[in-house]
Structure 1
Amino acid sequence: MKRSISEIIEQVILYFMIFLILREWFIPIMMLTKTGYFSLFLLFMLICLVIGLCRWPIFISWPIKLLYITWFIVSIYSDATLTTRQFLTNELKYNVEVLLAGDWILVSDPLRTSLFFILIWMLIYLIQYWVTVRLTIYYFLVLTVFFIATLDTFTKYDGTMAIIKVMIIGLIMTSMLFIKRLMQATNTQKDWTSYLRYLTPIIVIVTVVGVAATMLPKAEPQWPDPVPYLKNWSGNGGSSGNSVSTVGYGDNDETLGGPFVGDSTVVYEIKTPSRQYWRVETKDYYTSKGWVHSDSQADELFRSRQTVPFSIFPGMVEEQAIEVKALQEHKFLLQAYGTTNYRLTPEMLLKYSYLNEKVIPVEDDEVTKVALDEYSFIFRQPEYSYTQLKEVTTSTEDDGRYLQLPEQLPSRVIDLAHEIADSYESVYDKARAIEDYFKRSGFKYETTDVQVPASGEDYVDQFLFETKLGYCDNFSTSMVVLLRSVGIQSRWVKGFASGERVLTEEGIYTYEVTNNDAHSWVESYIDGIGWMPFEPTIGFSNPQNIDYDIDVSDLQEEQLPELEEQPKPELEDQQKQNESAGGAVSKFNLSKLKWVLYVLGVVLIIAVFILWKKRGKWQPKLVVQMNRSKLNDPKNFEDGYLVLLKQLERIYLKRGTDETLQQFAKRVDKQLNTAKMTELTVIYEQVIYAGNKLNYDTTEVKESWEYLINRTIS
């Protein structure tokens, strides 16, 4: 039966809304997976919806979709030197070999893309079934909201607006389908005036409420972030009890790792003549989980303007002043590289620790710590000679505690350190090589998806070889351990990054430093030069001041050779064992199996074709088995009757737009030479109007219903 113009318009509107909702599925998928060609995927989705709207048969719709997928794969992935046939043949051979060998993770990108297209195909088919047959969008709507909310919670994707759009569109679709079901149930002919009279208020109310809900002010989240609790519950968070921390400076670094949330609260306003890292303290003892001090504090008191004996040697330049305004209470003083003394009020004393170089202001009783609102200090910016840095090959003149490593440190960490640094001579070049290693070896800066190592796992080993995801603590700790592994004395430094420059006046820069700027980095000791800062964290730049005191003609951009990607030793050993054992993990010889695969493929195609051709015989039987129970209860009788109408429609017995149910039932009975359709229709109408109070002989009804469905077997 041909559809009326009104039905076609209604389905076009519904399918357009489906397209808009599906688009909200694809946006986060493409964004999070960094998949390109978004418009081409949307075009395929649109093609599937148009084909479904036109109701083209399989022998037309399937070739169109398969041709589009093939065109996409060939145009995006094919090598210009190969023909289309060669490319597809090579892909087929490779992927079959990989799948038969069980190495599913090694399947090619074209196959992954093809499977993604097939997934889109299946999803659209399912949605079309819900909309056109079941006349409901409820399950798809709930699934969409859950999908977007999950991505919003566990990833960086912000799904706020997506959920609002999906809910508005979904509620409008739900209303349209409900009105359609209601008209079918009451046998009401569609009148566009009445239809729009019911639908328009719903659309207006849903849209107005959605827009108002978007614009109105909202309270902050009342529940804590569920991500860390789920990770801990599942065991992926390492030690139990770990939760998301708030970024900021803290004293306890015994257990590093785990996610944190940002905090843009300004803690310092600093006026400085040059960009600086704001040093607070150092730590020397790595426990495999974090950092502690190796010994008790050795403190000394200093008064204002007295020289504080920092281990960072001041430069030979003119003294400059830095003014600090503290907006949060911190009972320590910041340092710049080359700090010499502080300018405080006369009653203030400075307690300086030789162990960690932390400076704490105290009262005259020498015990009470004080948090100062404002203070200033003098510094002379250190300058490092490039020529001297390139000549020094030792790091031995300082305290040996800066070479400490845990006894249980995995050997592969030490092996990696030597692999990176052994081809260099000077301490500086070795340190630069290790510093640069993180920037070009697949590491990523991450603050949320960061794990805490398990009880028997080393913090550095986990970061270097397992996750490669982390923030400054991961990068800086790993660099210190790698440096110590090749005999370079190093220590872990805590403080704040430079902050954001907000004002410039007469050569003085004002920086705002927030809790987000809390940071850690590395200092290494070079004989004859002293301690020098290094910055391994991706996205950060340490303000080193190097004097390139060589001829310009000899100076070339400092480059480090590319590190060759070496296979992991344990993987090499495993491969050798497999080969010596006769190939326990063997690869299939595709040439020997190709005829078997061809035969299996032909058999599968023939089987699918036979099932499709014989669907008129097995499909009604399957429908009977799945829906017989619906006739036991008047509540579900309507569903069973609609299933019968669908099966009759398959053999071209479809109710006309101007035909009552009784007229349609008599036409069916006449066509099938029976009276059972009229009997069932009478019961159906009584169920609709009498509700659950109607009693009928379920056995007789089932027999009539099953008889009519079986008659549809061609």
Structure 2
Amino acid sequence: MQQVNEKTDWLYALLLYGLGFLLFWEWLRPLSIISDTGQTKIFILFTAFLFLLSYFQLPFWLSFPIKGVAMVYALHAMFFPGPFFDFLWLDYFLSDFSKNIGLLFDGGFDSLSNVFRTFLFFILLWLISYLMQYWLIQTRRIFLFLLVTIVYISVIDTFTTYQADNAIIRIVIIGFVLLGLLQILRIQEQEGVSFSKGRFPVYWLMPLIVVIAFSSLFGYIAPKAEPLWPDPVPFFKKTTGDDDGEGGNGNGINKIGYGEDDSRLGGPFVMDDTPVFTAQIKDRGYWRVETKDVYTGKGWESSVQDRVMFEGSTETLFEDGVEVEAYDMKMNMTGNEEFDFIVHPGQVTNIETGQDVQLLENPLSGKVFTQNLGESVVLDNYNLDYDSPTFSEKMLREAPAEYPERLANTYLQLPESLPGRIGDLAEEITGDEENPYDKARAIENYFVGNGFVYETSDVAIPGENDDYVDQFLFETQLGYCDNFSSSMTVLLRSIGIPARWVKGFTEGEFVDVAGDYREYEVTNNNAHSWVEAYFPEVGWVPFEPTRGFSNQADFVSDYNEDEASNTETSDPAQAEEEQPQQQEQMPEEQEASGSSSSSFEWSVWYTILITVVLLLVCYVAFKNYKKWLKSYIISKYKKRDDGKVISEAYFRLLWLLDLHGIKRGANQTLREYAVQVDQKLQTQEMKELTRRYEENYYRGKTNDDAWDEMKQLWENLIKKMQS
């Protein structure tokens, strides 16, 4: 393989590996849509790293451990909080690995953990990167992989929500360029065509690029007939008798997004990046739709369905003593979802629709509906003003524990069938805390560890006699935002803290800067639920118990130095909140605990940068070590004049020749080997050097100036070896 690679121009190799990676990338793009994988970026970065190592052609003893460390680091980044070099997580991983190996040999594939499944997927990516190297560099054949890629994307586009219109265009362009490049290489190797050293055959590629560009452009702009069979899925369902209607039996896999009915929670879902809306806003935070107050044991319902006229502002979320800052924002509801209600960041003070619509509000849930003459209206865009709070932890800890009767009656509700062990667990979690705020934080922190895992596929549906929260807390410990937020709400209520369940969206993905505003795009993937707890003299305070998500609310610790020294404690939840969100959201800046000065913030990008630098250093060392070795040997023996220098220098020369691929046969004499070396290096100096060496040692002829005479021949041979 080394000889084949030496024939390949470096620019050719770079193009082949780059296009091969782009082609394989198309296999990874649909994962966020057709599976519950929320961190496809890590898979893409790992695959790019594998292709980079393959391009550098590092030896196996060096590339294998580097790839292994990169895979373990990727697993840590996906599943384990805390620093990589805190090897406590490694004990869990090794025990999980040994357990799953047993399940694998016993055929218990359904019981494999997500960590182990991801490990196997990384191994698969590793193998495919090797196969791509084999197809591109050795066999010069990629057509079969291109064909399988087209079939794969076509099937995914047909039977899932993934839209592959642009993917097909990308695959065709990348595939045909690859086929053309490989054909040029095959012609070069089979016909003995050679190019000027250091020059890339641009003129060979120009006709190929023009033909591909013209064909792709013509195919894109040409008129297209409507499909005769637009969607085969309904036909298959009817044919197989599996068409249960839109709702189904409720036990299938749902698609993520905002829904009205939360009476029966649970079950898996698949991701969906369908756009919902875009917003231009100065502050970032969650997008609120409504709250629900009645927990049934299976899900959530609203006790009040009435609608009243919107009086210019939503319900009061926080009291007068809370510091607020006024903001305005612009909402564009031009996504693929039609909402007849207002989506907003918090306590709204004014809504401007620009249309003749009526705004009605549910006084309990806070949901604001849009209608005209009794008919629902879907707004394309609207502007609103709102207040963003900053919560004082001092006020929260000093808030009284006496709640208004109306709030207590509504937001302490629990079903009579609620298992008693939920209340016992809440008491156990909060037993060491003295005020409601610290108790709420303790419950929020409880989900950071204790075996809870964010999961969207292997999520249980409570049976007839099961409680939704009880099942999650004590049996499965696998779930997504609904499981975490419902559990925290119920735990808070069970110890007498009013709490409610909130629905909406996370902030979305940053798109652009528009003047003083930042534009975010929110998709169905951003649908989310969280918790609000009530504290007298403060108001409703948001909490984020879901693993991998961070609380967007502003909290300030406003104690004086004496109070801070007595009350400052470590907060695992805050550390958890600093982790990147599942929805590809930006991490918050971390503050070092117990330090008044800002500390260096370590992130995955620093690790990637250091890894790339180390990799480049290793690559440079690997590419140049033979040259450095030759320079060292020349300098070592050139100045010696002792009696042993001739023998040592000659055999060091033989060692260098062997290292550079000119190997001596087992039964080959020195003179025969010298002829072979001269043929390889196109010189006559090896035979002359060997003759002089034999004269000095085999014929007993000695000469004090022998090394001085042989030195130039010896040095010339070393310099002619190609590194």
Q: TM-score, normalised by structure 2?
A: 0.47
